[in-house]
Amino acid sequence: MSIVSPVPPPEVPGARVEIRVGPAGPIPGPLRFLSRALRTLWSNRKASIGLVILGLIILVAVFAQLIAPHSPTATTFVPYQNPSATNWFGTTGNGQDVFSQMVYGARISLLVGIAAGAMATLVAVTIGLIAGYRPGVIDELLSFMTNLVLVIPGLPLMFILAAYLQSRSVWTIVLVVAFTSWATGARVIRSQASTLRTREFVTSAVFSGEGLFRVVFREILPNMTSLVAGSFFSAATAAVMAEASLEFLGLGDPNTVSWGTILYYAQQQNSLLTGQWVLVFAPGLAIAMLAVSFTLINFGVDALSNPRLREK
Amino acid sequence: MRYVARKVVLFLVTLWAAITLNFILPRLMPGSPVDAALAKLASSGQTITNAQRRAVEIQLGVPHTSLITQYWDYWTSIVQLNFGTSYSFPSETVVQTIGKAAPWTLALVGVTTILAFIIGTLLGVYAGWRRGKAADTSVTLGATFFAAFPPFWLGLLLLYVFAFKYGWFPIKGGYDPGETPNLSLSFLSSAAYHSVIPALTLAITSLSGWVFGMRNNMINTLGEDYVTFAEANGLRTRTVALLYAARNALLPNVTAFGLSLGAVVGGSVLVEGVFSYPGLGNLLYIAVVNHDFPLMQALFLVITVAMLVAIFIVDMLYVRLDPRVRQ
Amino acid sequence: MRRLSPARSMMICAAAMALALVGVSCSSSSNNGTAGSGTLTIQGDAGNPTLVENFNPFQGSQLHGTNLIYEPLEIPSPIDGTYTPFLATGFKFSDPKTLVYTIRQGVKWSDGQDFTPADVVFTFNLLKKYPALDGRGVWQQINAVSASGNDITMSFSAPNVPFAISIAQTEIVPEHLWTNMADPTKDPNTKPVGTGPFMLDAFAPTQYSLKKNPTYWQADKVAPAEVLFPAQASNQSTNQLDVVSGKFDWSYNFLPDVKTTYVAKDPAHNQYWFPPGGTIGLYLNLTKQPYSDVNFRKGLSLALDRSTIALKAVNGYLDQASMSGLILPNLKKWLDPSLPDQGNVKQDKSAAQAAFAQAGYALQSGKLVKNGKQASMTIVMPGNFSDWVAAAKEVVNQLGSVGINARLDLPQYAQYSQSIQAGTFDAAIGGFGGSGDPYTDYSLALSSTFATPVNTPTANNFERFKDPSVDQALATLASATDPAAQMQATYAVEQVMFNKIPIVLMYYGGSWGLFSTKRFTGWPSATNPYTLPTSYNNSLLTVLTRVTKA
């Protein structure tokens, strides 16, 4: 598993050129912005596939109650059954319906992916902006911290944090994942911010007396939207994979139903032994598809800003 | 020279920071890991000496002692390689347990990285050269897809098909039972045989870093002037791609190596657990499942330091290979 | 002509090397570790992650094969207590405080020296000298050991006839070697010399092997020429997959759906036997309200549907347990015939409510309430004991349907053990019985000598049950040499178990024996239940001196 997006950060800072460069002006309405972004993404073939997959998963999660034929936690069925008419994916060792678990499990997996991704991006943006905009001691310190966290292998650090924390809830996982995944994004954002810092429109804003916050949030940040988006999708990909790993180890909340916990119980109750390979195949494939969708969308985001990577 | 000096200083400072982080972590956590560890040691059935208890406290936190004293004791114990006793393996010291497992992970991670580097780089060259065509799309989509596989999941599937159902490969272990680790051919071949599926699992899931790194490098390089010049001189595109572009784009991508190594090390924890492969990853798996804090502490330190050293070595190699960096 | 790029040539080299290694190993591994005929392979000890060499029979961490190297005086069957003689040919109580064993003659140690009663005396005195080795607590019961002729005589401080079971199982070690041992409490005894049917052949970190002792006193009854113990992995699922792959003659592992996953793989040879090995019960902290009220406990007992609990917990392999405390049908001969339905209690919710009413509780809109508060319960057990957890989840459901708000607490084993020993728990899942002897089972769970105050740890009777009539019955049982008197005393305890419900027993925990008759037959089974199929204790010795070549 690559804990970071397979698209590495650009080698030469400043090679990435946002479409709109220059004084930002009033930020366009979020809705218009979003729709324009989606349309541009959609034109990229890889991103459109990703959007479709993600859309399907979101639909399943939202309409879980309508789609799932049974409750995911009721232990009313015969255990260890192969797929049948009543249980399309078979049953677990506790007598639960696996198909319903898969449907409801989409909620937690999506939630963790998006929440952890968002939190990691938030931290990355904050640190990256501060480091990029303020050269000197602060920058050196923050860059050093970023590099340190980057070097430490993320997954082992996550396991240890989760093991120490002892509390078993989905939010523990979100926190642990966010805490370990912000570094890549921070590095990218910092380098872009430090490039933009020297641009004329920023210097002119500073000279015209704009305060620090306005400069950062109204001048620099809007020119990095695709970077932030890219960072978000990378972090979300990493979060989905990390959640699966943490649940598989039993570090998650065994009372919730997510794709990761289905794999955990499949291992504990040895579904491979009973020949119920669906219990291993289905949740893993679902996790992979969710991660793939984020990565594909990320391709589109990347192609938006780096013309060299655009499809001809 | 300045580059080297800078890198060395950075390495030392990062090393210090990582070790300090390892010191801080258990002392920050709620629920007192040291109490839990000592309780478990007590109930492990072995007699635990006071020296062993003290060693565990130094690693995890001694109540009612100043942090400075603890920090000093911590560094002393690290230099003496005294990490205490793990209660999952109470009959030997943590250092002994880790010492036995380390070579296995080195071998697995080393082989996997080489495999992934070779296959990934070749695929990346191919995809970058054939940009925009069907070949490129299939390689990039394939690499993306495989990168999204949780490694332990792929491991389980390969285990099921190749080891359990068809019995072509062993279900568990690093070598045949009955063999003793030594340098005999029968041991080495048994070890190689047992490492095939775990290495394959890790290699497949860590390919994409190399593929994309190489592909992007190729794309950038192909835009360079000297390539256009070579093409203008009439050299065929394939010659250009392989002899000129690929060679220059092949310069070890240090960042990619660092990230990929991190991915392989991280993935190895669960993959080794699934295959009961006797490496550090399996130890960490056992330690986490058993809430064995002394072992976790030591493993985290060992893994982090190893990563740092590996990246430092590659950094130094990069100096030799890329003259542009030397100024 | 195209030159091969360095990368490409590197890859070809690597591939060729890999293929060569795999090719060599494929042929060699098929010879490595497979059994010749006459080799019996047992799924061995758990590696940690590799095996630690220790054949010291008195240390808790010894390898299982130690049971085949050293022999005790006699082995009682854990199912019904019948004795199989080994180094002793018989025993008797000349009076309730004097136990006499007759020692077998003509036995040799595996190094050629003669085995004599002096070795027996030495062994017991060794346990006295080093109390850390006295795991069975022998010297808390006896005060002297002596030999005369072929007899060993032991004097008890107080009459304790059933304790002979523990004494009989003490492994005997050679005086001529152990006298010189510097510290037997730490010595791993890596060159073991015993009287048993097997001797140590080779030890490797992932497997050890024993070979047949040619001078064994009943060598003609020992069929295997060699016993292999390949280590288990720390990953339980992997061990289960290993079992099913067919390389073991005897393994001990819970397998889900065993008929499909194991028997069907080789119906002619694969067999399983999952007899009850102990009872799993819901322990209530009797120092707390409302658990101290027998009516509340009665209500709890009547509210449970034990056969469903058994179904969820052990997959239907075993059934509900008798509230007499006896494992049935193993210990049927001890059962008090006046107990209704052999002591089995079926779910009866209305009777449960009547009992709760006696305890002052009333059912109000689905909740069982007293003084305005709903009855609640926290049940603690180790989180990784999956069958206990499954049972407890079902208990929570069932108690919920009679209005009790129950929840689970799933810590690590160490915390669980601490809280039950200290008596700070609310309710807990735990094991009861399984020694094959009613006195031992009852006294460990019910004798008030173990019931320490809360916060003083005790490993036995941690629910802190105190009843002088039970203590009296146990004392009678301890000193009775007449079978009729023993029966009556046992019946009295059973009545207390049934009527006073110190523990709410639920279902039988299983002993997961898996066998293959491809190379050896004569394994213990339902039709031949001569011992429990446990491969980690002295059942090994019982079984391996009985199996024959297929």
The stretch B23-27 carries a mean pLDDT of 83
C323 and C432 Cβ atoms separated by less than 8 Å: no
Contacts of A284 in chain B (CB under 8 A): 149-150, 153-154, 156-157
CA distance B237 to A16: 28
Question: C433 — alpha (psi -120 to 50), left (phi > 0) or beta?
Answer: left
B241 touching C (Cβ < 8 Å): no
A164 pLDDT tier (thresholds 50, 70, 90): confident
Contacts of A93 in chain C (CB under 8 A): 256, 315
Q: Is the peptide bond before B252 cis (omega within 30 degrees of 0)?
A: no
Count of A–C CB contacts within 8 Å?
A: 41
Sign of the C-alpha dihedral computed for residues B299, B302, B305 and B306 taken in this order: negative
Q: What percent of chain A has pLDDT over 70?
A: 87
User: Which secondary structure element, helix H or strand E, spans residue C151, and what is its range?
Assistant: strand C151-156
Residues C240, A270: C-beta atoms closer than 8 Å: yes
The residue that leads in pLDDT, C162 or B226, is: C162
Quote the pLDDT of residue A30. Answer: 67
Quote the pLDDT of residue C428. Answer: 95
Quote the pLDDT of residue C125. Answer: 95
Q: Is the peptide bond before C329 cis (omega within 30 degrees of 0)?
A: yes
CA distance B315 to C6: 21
Tell me what the pLDDT averaged over chain C comes to.
Answer: 87
Q: Is B20 helix (H, G, I), strand (E, B) or coil?
A: helix
Contacts of A273 in chain C (CB under 8 A): 237, 240-241, 244, 255-256, 261
Residues A159, B269: C-beta atoms closer than 8 Å: yes
C105 touching B (Cβ < 8 Å): no
Quote the pLDDT of residue A2. Answer: 36
DSSP string of C409-451, one letter each residue: E---HHHHHHHHHHT--SEEEEEE--SS-HHHHHHHHH-GGG-
Residue of B nearest to A266 (CA): B156
The stretch A193-208 carries a mean pLDDT of 77
Q: CA torsion angle for C106, C107, C112, C115 (degrees, to 10)?
A: -100
User: Which secondary structure element, helix H or strand E, spans residue B50, and what is its range?
Assistant: helix B50-60
Residue of A nearest to B209 (CA): A6
C230 touching B (Cβ < 8 Å): yes
Residues A267, C237: C-beta atoms closer than 8 Å: yes
List all residues 6 or more positions away from A48 whose beta carbon is below 8 Å from its beta carbon: A41, A42, A300
pLDDT (tens digit per residue) in A36-76: 777 777 878 888 889 999 999 999 999 988 888 888 888 78
Q: Which long-range contacts (CB under 8 A, 24 or more apart) does B307-314 make?
A: B307/A151, B307/A152, B307/A153, B307/B258, B307/B261, B307/B262, B307/B265, B308/A151, B308/B11, B308/B14, B308/B15, B308/B18, B310/B261, B311/A151, B311/B254, B311/B257, B311/B258, B311/B261, B312/B7, B312/B11, B314/B252, B314/B254, B314/B257, B314/B258
Length of chain A: 312
Contacts of B308 in chain A (CB under 8 A): 151
Joined together, the tokens standing for residue C329 give 């049908």
Residues A165, B29: C-beta atoms closer than 8 Å: yes
Shortest CA gap B61–chain A (Å): 13
Residue B46 has pLDDT above 50, yes or no: yes
- A partners (3+ CB pairs within 8 A) are B, C
- B partners (3+ CB pairs within 8 A) are A, C
Residues A163, B255: C-beta atoms closer than 8 Å: no
CA distance B96 to B73: 21
Quote the pLDDT of residue B241. Answer: 63
Residues A154, B160: C-beta atoms closer than 8 Å: no
Report in angstroms the alpha-carbon separations of C334 from C29, C166, C439. 53, 19, 11
Of the candidates C256, C390, C393, the beta carbon closest to that of A273 is on C256
Q: Which among C425, C438, C490 has a CA at the least distance from the CA of C464?
A: C425
Quote the pLDDT of residue C33. Answer: 42
Length of chain C: 550
- Stretch among A119-123, B166-170, C153-157, C332-336 having the lowest mean pLDDT: B166-170
Joined together, the tokens standing for residue A63 give 């309409």
The stretch B115-140 carries a mean pLDDT of 84
Residue of B nearest to C6 (CA): B247
b/e code A219-248 from CB counts within 10 Å (16+ = b):
bbbbbbbbbbbbbbbbbbbbbbbbbbbbbb
Residues B255, A9: C-beta atoms closer than 8 Å: yes
Ranges of chain C whose pLDDT falls below 70: 1-36, 47-49, 60, 384, 412, 414
Alpha-carbon B151 to chain mean position: 13
pLDDT (tens digit per residue) in A72-100: 888 788 888 889 888 899 988 878 899 99
pLDDT (tens digit per residue) in B89-122: 766 788 888 888 888 888 888 888 888 888 888 8
Q: Is the peptide bond before C382 cis (omega within 30 degrees of 0)?
A: no
User: Which secondary structure element, helix H or strand E, spans residue A158, and what is its range?
Assistant: helix A154-165
List all residues 6 or more positions away from B291 whose beta carbon is below 8 Å from its beta carbon: A163, B36, B40, C412
Residues linked to residue C510 through DSSP beta bridges, in sequence order? C276
Residue of B nearest to C50 (CA): B278
pLDDT (tens digit per residue) in A231-244: 899 899 989 988 89
Interface of A with B in 293-312 (CB under 8 A): 295-296, 299, 308-309, 311-312
Contacts of C312 in chain A (CB under 8 A): 75, 94-95
Quote the pLDDT of residue A143. Answer: 86
Quote the pLDDT of residue C382. Answer: 81
Q: Is B279 helix (H, G, I), strand (E, B) or coil?
A: coil
Q: What percent of chain B has pLDDT over 90?
A: 6
Tell me what the pLDDT averaged over chain B comes to.
Answer: 80
Quote the pLDDT of residue A10. Answer: 39
Shortest CA gap A271–chain C (Å): 9
CA distance C314 to B260: 44
Question: How many other CB atoms are there within 10 angstroms of residue C493's CB atom?
Answer: 29
Quote the pLDDT of residue C103. Answer: 95
Q: Which long-range contacts (CB under 8 A, 24 or more apart) does C73-76 make?
A: C73/C101, C73/C103, C73/C120, C73/C167, C73/C168, C73/C169, C73/C170, C73/C172, C74/C168, C74/C169, C75/C168, C75/C169, C75/C531, C75/C538, C75/C541, C75/C542, C76/C165, C76/C168, C76/C169, C76/C436, C76/C437
Residue type, C49: P
Of the candidates C2, C22, C414, the beta carbon closest to that of B192 is on C22
pLDDT (tens digit per residue) in B174-189: 888 877 777 788 888 8
Q: CA torsion angle for B134, B136, B140, B145 (degrees, to 10)?
A: 30
Question: 């994004």: which residue's tokens?
Answer: A185
C264 touching A (Cβ < 8 Å): no
The residue that leads in pLDDT, A32 or C534, is: C534
What 8-state DSSP symbol labels residue C270?
E
CA distance A69 to A80: 18
Residues A79, C256: C-beta atoms closer than 8 Å: yes
The residue that leads in pLDDT, B259 or C417, is: C417
Residues B178, C48: C-beta atoms closer than 8 Å: no
Question: 């080195």: which residue's tokens?
Answer: B106
